[in-house]
Structure 1
Protein backbone atom coordinates (compact mmCIF):
# COMPACT_ATOMS: atom_id res chain seq x y z
CA UNK A 1 0.00 0.00 0.00
CA UNK A 2 1.28 3.44 -0.90
CA UNK A 3 2.38 5.65 1.95
CA UNK A 4 -0.18 8.41 1.29
CA UNK A 5 -3.02 5.82 1.31
CA UNK A 6 -1.73 4.33 4.56
CA UNK A 7 -1.69 7.78 6.19
CA UNK A 8 -5.23 8.46 4.95
CA UNK A 9 -6.58 5.21 6.42
CA UNK A 10 -4.88 5.81 9.78
CA UNK A 11 -6.20 9.38 10.08
CA UNK A 12 -9.70 8.22 9.16
CA UNK A 13 -9.72 5.60 11.91
CA UNK A 14 -8.47 8.10 14.51
CA UNK A 15 -11.04 10.68 13.46
CA UNK A 16 -13.85 8.15 13.66
CA UNK A 17 -12.75 7.14 17.14
CA UNK A 18 -12.74 10.74 18.40
CA UNK A 19 -16.16 11.41 16.92
CA UNK A 20 -17.53 8.26 18.46
CA UNK A 21 -16.24 9.23 21.93
CA UNK A 22 -17.75 12.68 21.65
CA UNK A 23 -21.12 11.30 20.62
CA UNK A 24 -21.11 8.79 23.47
CA UNK A 25 -20.18 11.50 26.03
CA UNK A 26 -22.96 13.78 24.73
CA UNK A 27 -25.49 10.96 24.97
CA UNK A 28 -24.42 10.10 28.51
CA UNK A 29 -24.68 13.74 29.52
CA UNK A 30 -28.24 13.86 28.23
CA UNK A 31 -29.13 10.53 29.83
CA UNK A 32 -27.85 11.44 33.28
CA UNK A 33 -30.42 13.15 35.56
CA UNK A 34 -29.57 16.74 36.50
CA UNK A 35 -30.25 16.15 40.21
CA UNK A 36 -30.51 13.14 42.57
CA UNK A 37 -33.91 11.44 42.56
CA UNK A 38 -33.65 9.72 45.92
CA UNK A 39 -35.26 12.52 47.92
CA UNK A 40 -38.79 11.94 49.22
CA UNK A 41 -41.25 14.07 47.23
CA UNK A 42 -43.47 16.57 49.03
CA UNK A 43 -47.02 15.29 49.71
CA UNK A 44 -48.55 18.23 47.87
CA UNK A 45 -47.43 21.56 46.42
CA UNK A 46 -47.82 24.51 48.77
CA UNK A 47 -50.54 26.78 47.48
CA UNK A 48 -50.93 30.48 47.96
CA UNK A 49 -53.41 31.59 50.64
CA UNK A 50 -56.80 32.84 49.46
CA UNK A 51 -56.42 35.87 51.72
CA UNK A 52 -54.67 36.96 54.88
CA UNK A 53 -55.41 34.83 57.99
CA UNK A 54 -58.10 36.11 60.36
CA UNK A 55 -55.92 35.56 63.41
CA UNK A 56 -52.18 35.30 64.12
CA UNK A 57 -50.84 31.81 64.66
CA UNK A 58 -50.32 31.06 68.35
CA UNK A 59 -49.96 27.34 69.22
CA UNK A 60 -52.22 25.96 71.95
CA UNK A 61 -50.14 24.43 74.78
CA UNK A 62 -50.41 20.65 74.92
CA UNK A 63 -51.90 20.78 78.43
CA UNK A 64 -54.71 22.94 77.08
CA UNK A 65 -55.22 20.68 74.05
CA UNK A 66 -55.78 17.67 76.31
CA UNK A 67 -58.22 19.59 78.50
CA UNK A 68 -60.17 20.86 75.48
CA UNK A 69 -60.69 17.30 74.28
CA UNK A 70 -61.69 16.16 77.76
CA UNK A 71 -64.15 19.04 78.11
CA UNK A 72 -65.76 18.12 74.78
CA UNK A 73 -65.95 14.46 75.87
CA UNK A 74 -64.35 13.39 72.60
CA UNK A 75 -64.87 9.72 71.71
CA UNK A 76 -63.72 7.36 68.98
CA UNK A 77 -66.92 7.74 66.96
CA UNK A 78 -66.79 11.56 66.94
CA UNK A 79 -65.93 13.71 63.94
CA UNK A 80 -63.76 16.61 65.05
CA UNK A 81 -63.21 19.86 63.16
CA UNK A 82 -60.54 22.26 64.36
CA UNK A 83 -60.92 25.74 62.87
CA UNK A 84 -57.61 27.52 62.60
CA UNK A 85 -55.79 24.23 63.09
CA UNK A 86 -52.21 25.52 62.88
CA UNK A 87 -49.70 22.67 63.20
CA UNK A 88 -52.54 20.15 63.61
CA UNK A 89 -51.94 19.27 67.25
CA UNK A 90 -55.61 19.15 68.33
CA UNK A 91 -56.86 16.70 65.68
CA UNK A 92 -53.62 14.70 65.87
CA UNK A 93 -53.89 14.39 69.66
CA UNK A 94 -57.55 13.34 69.37
CA UNK A 95 -56.60 10.66 66.84
CA UNK A 96 -53.75 9.37 69.00
CA UNK A 97 -55.61 9.47 72.33
CA UNK A 98 -59.14 8.48 71.31
CA UNK A 99 -58.94 7.18 67.74
CA UNK A 100 -61.09 10.10 66.61
CA UNK A 101 -61.37 11.13 62.96
CA UNK A 102 -60.56 14.80 62.53
CA UNK A 103 -60.21 17.60 60.00
CA UNK A 104 -58.09 20.69 60.46
CA UNK A 105 -58.96 23.88 58.59
CA UNK A 106 -56.37 26.61 58.10
CA UNK A 107 -55.99 29.28 55.44
CA UNK A 108 -52.19 29.34 55.72
CA UNK A 109 -50.55 26.80 53.36
CA UNK A 110 -47.41 26.67 55.52
CA UNK A 111 -49.47 25.50 58.50
CA UNK A 112 -51.18 22.85 56.37
CA UNK A 113 -47.80 21.53 55.19
CA UNK A 114 -46.54 21.46 58.78
CA UNK A 115 -49.68 19.71 60.03
CA UNK A 116 -49.45 17.02 57.35
CA UNK A 117 -45.82 16.38 58.29
CA UNK A 118 -46.79 16.11 61.97
CA UNK A 119 -49.60 13.68 61.17
CA UNK A 120 -47.15 11.55 59.19
CA UNK A 121 -44.72 11.47 62.13
CA UNK A 122 -47.55 10.60 64.53
CA UNK A 123 -48.80 7.76 62.30
CA UNK A 124 -52.39 9.04 62.12
CA UNK A 125 -52.73 9.99 58.45
CA UNK A 126 -55.52 7.41 58.15
CA UNK A 127 -57.61 9.35 60.67
CA UNK A 128 -56.86 13.02 60.04
CA UNK A 129 -56.81 15.43 57.13
CA UNK A 130 -55.93 19.08 56.74
CA UNK A 131 -57.50 21.51 54.30
CA UNK A 132 -56.21 24.88 53.21
CA UNK A 133 -59.54 26.64 53.31
CA UNK A 134 -61.36 29.77 54.43
CA UNK A 135 -63.21 28.63 57.56
CA UNK A 136 -66.19 30.78 56.58
CA UNK A 137 -66.48 28.71 53.38
CA UNK A 138 -66.08 25.33 55.07
CA UNK A 139 -68.90 22.78 55.32
CA UNK A 140 -69.02 21.67 58.96
CA UNK A 141 -72.25 19.68 58.74
CA UNK A 142 -70.71 16.28 59.59
CA UNK A 143 -68.91 17.55 62.72
CA UNK A 144 -69.89 16.31 66.17
CA UNK A 145 -67.15 18.36 67.89
CA UNK A 146 -65.72 21.75 66.87
CA UNK A 147 -62.69 23.36 68.48
CA UNK A 148 -61.61 26.98 68.06
CA UNK A 149 -58.77 29.29 68.93
CA UNK A 150 -59.72 32.42 67.06
CA UNK A 151 -60.65 35.93 68.30
CA UNK A 152 -63.88 37.28 69.87
CA UNK A 153 -65.07 39.10 66.74
CA UNK A 154 -64.30 36.07 64.55
CA UNK A 155 -66.19 33.80 66.96
CA UNK A 156 -69.26 36.07 66.81
CA UNK A 157 -69.04 36.28 63.01
CA UNK A 158 -68.78 32.48 62.83
CA UNK A 159 -71.71 31.83 65.19
CA UNK A 160 -74.52 31.98 62.55
CA UNK A 161 -72.62 29.47 60.41
CA UNK A 162 -72.29 27.10 63.38
CA UNK A 163 -76.03 27.34 64.10
CA UNK A 164 -76.89 26.84 60.44
CA UNK A 165 -74.61 23.88 59.73
CA UNK A 166 -74.15 21.95 62.97
CA UNK A 167 -76.58 19.36 64.22
CA UNK A 168 -78.20 19.79 67.67
CA UNK A 169 -75.98 18.19 70.28
CA UNK A 170 -72.71 19.13 68.56
CA UNK A 171 -70.14 20.21 71.16
CA UNK A 172 -68.02 23.33 70.73
CA UNK A 173 -64.94 24.30 72.74
CA UNK A 174 -63.22 27.66 72.32
CA UNK A 175 -59.80 28.47 73.71
CA UNK A 176 -59.66 31.84 75.51
CA UNK A 177 -62.56 33.59 73.73
CA UNK A 178 -66.34 33.42 74.11
CA UNK A 179 -69.14 33.93 71.57
CA UNK A 180 -70.73 37.15 72.70
CA UNK A 181 -74.37 36.75 73.70
CA UNK A 182 -74.27 32.96 73.38
CA UNK A 183 -73.50 32.05 76.96
CA UNK A 184 -71.35 28.93 77.48
CA UNK A 185 -72.59 25.94 79.44
CA UNK A 186 -69.22 25.59 81.14
CA UNK A 187 -66.14 27.76 81.66
CA UNK A 188 -62.93 26.02 82.73
CA UNK A 189 -59.56 27.41 83.75
CA UNK A 190 -56.42 25.55 82.72
CA UNK A 191 -52.91 26.35 83.89
CA UNK A 192 -50.44 26.37 81.01
CA UNK A 193 -46.65 26.66 81.06
CA UNK A 194 -46.67 30.47 81.25
CA UNK A 195 -50.22 31.58 82.06
CA UNK A 196 -53.77 30.50 82.82
CA UNK A 197 -56.07 29.69 79.92
CA UNK A 198 -59.86 29.87 79.77
CA UNK A 199 -61.96 27.29 77.91
CA UNK A 200 -65.58 27.85 76.89
CA UNK A 201 -67.97 24.97 76.20
CA UNK A 202 -71.30 25.00 74.35
CA UNK A 203 -73.74 22.43 72.99
CA UNK A 204 -75.74 23.35 69.89
CA UNK A 205 -79.42 23.54 71.05
CA UNK A 206 -82.46 22.04 69.37
CA UNK A 207 -83.87 25.53 68.87
CA UNK A 208 -81.74 28.63 68.44
CA UNK A 209 -82.78 31.43 70.84
CA UNK A 210 -84.29 34.40 69.04
CA UNK A 211 -81.62 36.80 70.34
CA UNK A 212 -78.90 34.72 68.70
CA UNK A 213 -80.38 34.40 65.22
Structure 2
Protein backbone atom coordinates (compact mmCIF):
# COMPACT_ATOMS: atom_id res chain seq x y z
CA UNK A 1 0.00 0.00 0.00
CA UNK A 2 1.37 3.42 -0.94
CA UNK A 3 1.42 5.97 1.86
CA UNK A 4 1.51 9.75 1.99
CA UNK A 5 5.23 9.85 1.24
CA UNK A 6 5.10 7.54 -1.77
CA UNK A 7 6.69 4.30 -0.57
CA UNK A 8 5.25 1.19 0.98
CA UNK A 9 7.30 0.43 4.11
CA UNK A 10 5.04 2.48 6.38
CA UNK A 11 1.38 3.45 6.24
CA UNK A 12 1.50 6.92 7.75
CA UNK A 13 2.07 8.38 11.20
CA UNK A 14 -1.44 9.28 12.29
CA UNK A 15 -4.98 8.68 11.09
CA UNK A 16 -5.62 12.40 11.15
CA UNK A 17 -2.95 12.87 8.51
CA UNK A 18 -4.35 12.62 4.99
CA UNK A 19 -2.58 10.41 2.48
CA UNK A 20 -1.01 11.73 -0.66
CA UNK A 21 -1.33 9.27 -3.53
CA UNK A 22 1.92 8.43 -5.31
CA UNK A 23 3.05 5.46 -7.33
CA UNK A 24 5.10 3.42 -4.88
CA UNK A 25 6.77 1.40 -7.64
CA UNK A 26 7.73 4.41 -9.76
CA UNK A 27 11.53 4.17 -10.06
CA UNK A 28 11.75 7.84 -11.06
CA UNK A 29 9.99 9.08 -7.93
CA UNK A 30 12.64 11.19 -6.11
CA UNK A 31 10.82 10.87 -2.79
CA UNK A 32 11.35 7.14 -2.45
CA UNK A 33 13.47 6.16 0.53
CA UNK A 34 17.08 5.77 -0.50
CA UNK A 35 16.70 7.42 -3.93
CA UNK A 36 19.16 10.22 -4.73
CA UNK A 37 18.21 13.02 -7.11
CA UNK A 38 20.92 14.46 -9.33
CA UNK A 39 21.66 18.16 -9.00
CA UNK A 40 23.81 20.74 -7.24
CA UNK A 41 21.85 20.85 -4.00
CA UNK A 42 23.63 20.65 -0.64
CA UNK A 43 21.00 18.11 0.31
CA UNK A 44 19.97 16.04 -2.73
CA UNK A 45 16.49 14.69 -1.94
CA UNK A 46 16.85 11.21 -0.48
CA UNK A 47 13.91 9.96 1.49
CA UNK A 48 14.63 8.66 4.98
CA UNK A 49 12.48 5.66 5.87
CA UNK A 50 9.80 6.70 8.35
CA UNK A 51 10.68 4.06 10.98
CA UNK A 52 14.19 5.54 10.97
CA UNK A 53 12.75 9.02 11.48
CA UNK A 54 10.91 7.69 14.53
CA UNK A 55 14.18 6.36 15.92
CA UNK A 56 15.82 9.73 15.26
CA UNK A 57 13.11 11.62 17.13
CA UNK A 58 13.31 9.26 20.09
CA UNK A 59 17.13 9.30 20.10
CA UNK A 60 17.14 13.11 20.22
CA UNK A 61 14.48 13.03 22.98
CA UNK A 62 12.19 15.35 21.04
CA UNK A 63 9.20 16.53 23.08
CA UNK A 64 6.20 18.80 22.57
CA UNK A 65 8.26 21.71 23.91
CA UNK A 66 10.84 21.49 21.13
CA UNK A 67 11.21 23.51 17.93
CA UNK A 68 12.66 21.14 15.35
CA UNK A 69 14.41 22.39 12.22
CA UNK A 70 15.13 20.06 9.31
CA UNK A 71 17.73 21.64 7.01
CA UNK A 72 17.17 20.21 3.54
CA UNK A 73 13.75 18.86 4.47
CA UNK A 74 12.71 17.41 1.09
CA UNK A 75 9.01 16.58 1.26
CA UNK A 76 8.92 17.57 4.96
CA UNK A 77 8.53 14.03 6.27
CA UNK A 78 10.74 14.67 9.32
CA UNK A 79 8.68 17.75 10.18
CA UNK A 80 5.42 15.88 9.65
CA UNK A 81 6.53 12.95 11.80
CA UNK A 82 7.80 15.29 14.54
CA UNK A 83 4.39 16.95 14.59
CA UNK A 84 2.44 13.69 14.46
CA UNK A 85 4.43 11.82 17.12
CA UNK A 86 5.68 14.59 19.41
CA UNK A 87 3.21 17.45 18.79
CA UNK A 88 6.10 19.89 18.57
CA UNK A 89 6.71 22.87 16.31
CA UNK A 90 8.80 22.11 13.25
CA UNK A 91 10.34 24.15 10.46
CA UNK A 92 11.61 22.66 7.22
CA UNK A 93 14.07 24.43 4.93
CA UNK A 94 14.18 23.34 1.30
CA UNK A 95 15.41 25.02 -1.89
CA UNK A 96 13.77 22.69 -4.44
CA UNK A 97 10.43 24.26 -5.37
CA UNK A 98 8.72 21.00 -6.33
CA UNK A 99 9.54 19.43 -2.97
CA UNK A 100 8.41 22.55 -1.12
CA UNK A 101 5.08 22.34 -2.96
CA UNK A 102 4.74 18.64 -2.12
CA UNK A 103 5.49 19.21 1.55
CA UNK A 104 3.12 22.16 1.80
CA UNK A 105 0.34 20.16 0.19
CA UNK A 106 0.82 17.34 2.67
CA UNK A 107 0.73 19.83 5.55
CA UNK A 108 -2.40 21.49 4.15
CA UNK A 109 -4.18 18.13 4.23
CA UNK A 110 -3.60 17.61 7.93
CA UNK A 111 -6.76 17.51 9.99
CA UNK A 112 -5.68 19.49 13.04
CA UNK A 113 -7.49 22.30 14.84
CA UNK A 114 -4.50 24.32 16.07
CA UNK A 115 -3.11 25.60 12.77
CA UNK A 116 -0.26 27.45 14.49
CA UNK A 117 1.25 24.11 15.54
CA UNK A 118 1.41 22.74 12.01
CA UNK A 119 4.82 22.29 10.35
CA UNK A 120 6.13 25.25 8.37
CA UNK A 121 8.33 25.05 5.25
CA UNK A 122 10.66 27.79 4.03
CA UNK A 123 11.70 27.79 0.38
CA UNK A 124 15.20 29.12 0.82
CA UNK A 125 18.90 28.25 0.69
CA UNK A 126 19.62 26.60 4.04
CA UNK A 127 22.91 28.52 4.33
CA UNK A 128 21.01 31.82 4.36
CA UNK A 129 18.52 30.54 6.93
CA UNK A 130 21.28 29.22 9.17
CA UNK A 131 23.27 32.46 9.05
CA UNK A 132 20.17 34.42 9.99
CA UNK A 133 19.40 32.06 12.85
CA UNK A 134 22.85 32.87 14.19
CA UNK A 135 22.06 36.59 13.97
CA UNK A 136 18.72 36.10 15.68
CA UNK A 137 20.35 34.03 18.41
CA UNK A 138 22.87 36.83 18.92
CA UNK A 139 19.94 39.28 19.17
CA UNK A 140 21.03 41.22 16.13
CA UNK A 141 18.69 43.99 15.04
CA UNK A 142 17.65 42.24 11.84
CA UNK A 143 18.78 39.51 9.48
CA UNK A 144 20.93 40.93 6.69
CA UNK A 145 19.90 38.37 4.07
CA UNK A 146 16.20 38.91 4.39
CA UNK A 147 13.43 36.80 2.89
CA UNK A 148 9.70 36.87 3.51
CA UNK A 149 9.99 34.07 6.06
CA UNK A 150 13.31 34.46 7.85
CA UNK A 151 12.59 37.51 10.00
CA UNK A 152 9.81 35.78 11.95
CA UNK A 153 11.55 32.47 12.56
CA UNK A 154 11.45 30.85 16.00
CA UNK A 155 14.83 29.80 17.33
CA UNK A 156 15.46 26.05 17.15
CA UNK A 157 15.91 23.74 20.11
CA UNK A 158 17.11 20.99 17.77
CA UNK A 159 18.42 20.93 14.22
CA UNK A 160 18.23 17.72 12.18
CA UNK A 161 20.35 17.29 9.06
CA UNK A 162 20.84 14.63 6.42
CA UNK A 163 23.43 16.46 4.32
CA UNK A 164 26.47 15.56 2.27
CA UNK A 165 29.89 15.89 3.98
CA UNK A 166 30.88 18.91 1.87
CA UNK A 167 27.64 20.63 2.86
CA UNK A 168 28.21 19.95 6.55
CA UNK A 169 31.74 21.33 6.29
CA UNK A 170 30.34 24.53 4.81
CA UNK A 171 27.84 24.90 7.65
CA UNK A 172 30.06 24.02 10.61
CA UNK A 173 31.03 27.58 11.56
CA UNK A 174 27.38 28.65 11.81
CA UNK A 175 26.44 25.50 13.70
CA UNK A 176 29.27 26.05 16.17
CA UNK A 177 28.00 29.60 16.75
CA UNK A 178 24.49 28.32 17.48
CA UNK A 179 25.89 25.83 19.99
CA UNK A 180 27.63 28.73 21.76
CA UNK A 181 24.69 31.14 21.62
CA UNK A 182 21.64 28.97 22.30
CA UNK A 183 20.78 27.28 25.62
CA UNK A 184 22.72 24.16 26.61
CA UNK A 185 19.68 22.04 25.79
CA UNK A 186 20.06 22.89 22.09
CA UNK A 187 21.33 19.92 20.09
CA UNK A 188 22.14 18.93 16.53
CA UNK A 189 21.32 15.51 15.11
CA UNK A 190 23.20 14.36 12.01
CA UNK A 191 21.95 11.48 9.88
CA UNK A 192 24.71 9.36 8.29
CA UNK A 193 27.45 12.02 8.01
CA UNK A 194 28.68 14.04 10.99
CA UNK A 195 30.51 17.26 11.81
CA UNK A 196 34.27 16.83 11.59
CA UNK A 197 35.23 19.66 13.96
CA UNK A 198 32.86 18.62 16.74
CA UNK A 199 32.84 15.67 19.13
CA UNK A 200 29.53 13.76 19.11
CA UNK A 201 28.05 13.32 22.58
CA UNK A 202 25.90 10.37 21.55
CA UNK A 203 25.96 7.88 18.70
CA UNK A 204 23.51 5.25 17.55
CA UNK A 205 23.27 2.90 14.58
CA UNK A 206 19.79 2.27 13.18
CA UNK A 207 19.36 -1.05 11.43
CA UNK A 208 17.23 -0.66 8.32
CA UNK A 209 15.18 -3.31 6.60
CA UNK A 210 17.49 -5.23 4.31
CA UNK A 211 20.46 -4.98 6.64
CA UNK A 212 21.69 -1.44 5.95
CA UNK A 213 22.89 0.59 8.94
CA UNK A 214 22.24 4.34 9.36
CA UNK A 215 24.57 6.06 11.85
CA UNK A 216 23.17 8.92 13.92
CA UNK A 217 25.19 11.47 15.92
CA UNK A 218 24.09 14.11 18.42
CA UNK A 219 26.11 17.27 19.14
CA UNK A 220 25.65 19.68 22.03
CA UNK A 221 27.61 22.56 23.51
CA UNK A 222 29.88 19.96 25.11
CA UNK A 223 30.92 18.96 21.59
CA UNK A 224 32.81 22.23 21.11
TM-score (norm 2): 0.65
> 1:62: which partner in 2?
50
> 1:129: which partner in 2?
120
Q: How far apart, in 2, do the equivalents of 1:118 and 1:82 lie?
A: 16
Closer, same or farther: CA 52–123 of 1 in aligned 2, 3 Å: farther
2:82 matches 1:91: no
Q: How many residues align?
A: 157
Per-residue CA distance 1:159-201 (angstroms, 9 max, x = gap): 1111223514211111100111312111101112342111111
> 1:75: which partner in 2?
63
Per-residue CA distance 1:80-115 (angstroms, 9 max, x = gap): 110000010111111111110010001111111111
RMSD: 1.9
Structure 1 segments (4+ residues) deviating >3 Å: 122-126
Q: How far apart, in 2, do the equivalents of 1:193 and 1:78 lie?
A: 29
> 2:98: which partner in 1?
110
> 1:204: which partner in 2?
221
Structure 2: gaps spanning 5 or more residues = 1-38, 138-154
Q: How far apart, in 2, do the equivalents of 1:120 and 1:188 lie?
A: 33
Aligned pairs for 1:7-22 (under 5 A) are none
Residue 109 of structure 2 aligns to a residue whose secondary structure is helix
> 1:151: which partner in 2?
164
Q: How far apart, in 2, do the equivalents of 1:203 and 1:70 lie?
A: 16
CA contact (8 A) 1:92 1:122 kept: no
Structure 1: gaps spanning 5 or more residues = 1-50
Q: How far apart, in 2, do the equivalents of 1:68 and 1:55 lie?
A: 18
